[in-house]
Structure 1
Amino acid sequence: MRPPPTRYKVVERGRRLEVIDTLTGEPVSRSSAPLPLAGARGEVGPGPRDLSAPPSPASGRGAQAGSAGLDSGTFVTRRWYDDKAPRTIRMNYSNRARLTNLRYGIAVAVALLVVLAFLFWPFALVLVFVVIANPKIRTQIRTGITRWIDGFDQA
């Protein structure tokens, strides 16, 4: 079985390639301007990131920008887990290693909580409700996380 013939063909005219529509026999016109190459001058989109300094809060969105995280040069804290938030912490090798270890610790803790929730089904709901509803426990957890994050600023 043979595929049908293509509608367009490419020919060379005057050392330039042109696309010809075989139904009309005329060159295909370009409906819009070509997209600029990445990194070209006059580019409208975001340029290369400058990781020499953390974003400042005076620069508009600053702390709310989506470019901060564990894999970038900065880490921006949030109010729900840090009393001194939002603050920008510059990431170095030791800070990145501590946060990577924290990721693994959280993954293990969540796995254990899922197993315990299946083993002790009604008790697990009560325990989660007590932790979420009690403002004193939430304040203690947030204070501990804030002290732990303060260690990043000193490192």
Structure 2
Amino acid sequence: MTDAPPSRYKVVERGRRLVVIDTQTGQPAVREPVAHAPSPPGAPAYQPVETLTRSNVDDRSGNAVLVTSRLYDLKGPRRIVISPTASNRMSRGIGGVAIILIAYAILAIFFPLLLLLPFVLLLQPRTRNGFRQWITARLGEADRAA
């Protein structure tokens, strides 16, 4: 096995500070400025990170925020602040679903045609709508608990 090639950069201490040195030039490494797209006229020169990305934590309570999708939530998309009691309830529900999926996988080993059952059920509009209504009701309970 061959050794890795030597690094281009090394870190040294100068005046109680760590400095990155470029071994090819012998000078301190300088970060190149990143070119940004020009902002539209009238917009501030910079935007704080908080305005660019949506947070997964509520600013007031510090609890987690769930952003739902129209795929499974009839009232979606909506932001739901998850209270600690709703979080515990969802954790128990996810644990129950995991146990059911494991039992289903073990049963599908012995009866492979059971693997088609979820696809057949999801093709039925009545089953799909019932599932979406059930999910919407559970999410509504979590929203009211917060």
TM-score normalised to the size of structure 1?
A: 0.59
Match among 111, 116, 119 for residue 107 of structure 2: 116
User: How far off its partner does 1:46 sit?
Assistant: 4.2
3-state secondary structure, aligned to 1:84: coil
Q: For residues 111 and 91 of structure 2, what CA distance do their matches in structure 1 show?
A: 30
Q: For residues 146 and 9 of structure 1, what CA distance do their matches in structure 2 show?
A: 55
Match among 55, 67, 78 for residue 76 of structure 1: 67
Which residue pairs with 1:67 in the alignment?
56
Which residue pairs with 1:37 in the alignment?
none
- Between the two proteins, the alignment pairs up a number of residues equal to 120
Which residue pairs with 1:152 in the alignment?
142
Give yes or no for the alignment of 1:126 onto 2:113. no
TM-score normalised to the size of structure 2?
A: 0.62
- Tell me, which stretches of 5 or more residues in structure 2 are unaligned? 1-5, 33-46
- Tell me, which stretches of 5 or more residues in structure 1 are unaligned? 1-5, 35-43, 48-58
Which residue pairs with 2:37 in the alignment?
none
Q: For residues 144 and 20 of structure 1, what CA distance do their matches in structure 2 show?
A: 60
CA contact (8 A) 1:77 1:88 kept: yes
3-state secondary structure, aligned to 2:71: coil
- RMSD (Å) for aligned C-alpha atoms: 3.9
Q: For residues 99 and 127 of structure 2, what CA distance do their matches in structure 1 show?
A: 22
Q: Percent of counterpart pairs with the same letter?
A: 26
3-state secondary structure, aligned to 1:89: strand
Name which structure has the greater RCO, CA cutoff 8 Å, separation 6+.
Answer: 2
Q: For residues 60 and 10 of structure 1, what CA distance do their matches in structure 2 show?
A: 36
Structure 1: which 4+ aligned runs deviate by more than 6 Å?
A: 6-9, 16-21
Q: Which amino acid aligns with 1:132?
A: L
User: How far off its partner does 1:126 sit?
Assistant: 3.4
User: How far off its partner does 1:67 sit?
Assistant: 3.1
Residue-by-residue CA offset, 1:65-120 (whole Å, 9 max, x unaligned)? 4736xx96211111121110111111211111111112211211110110121121
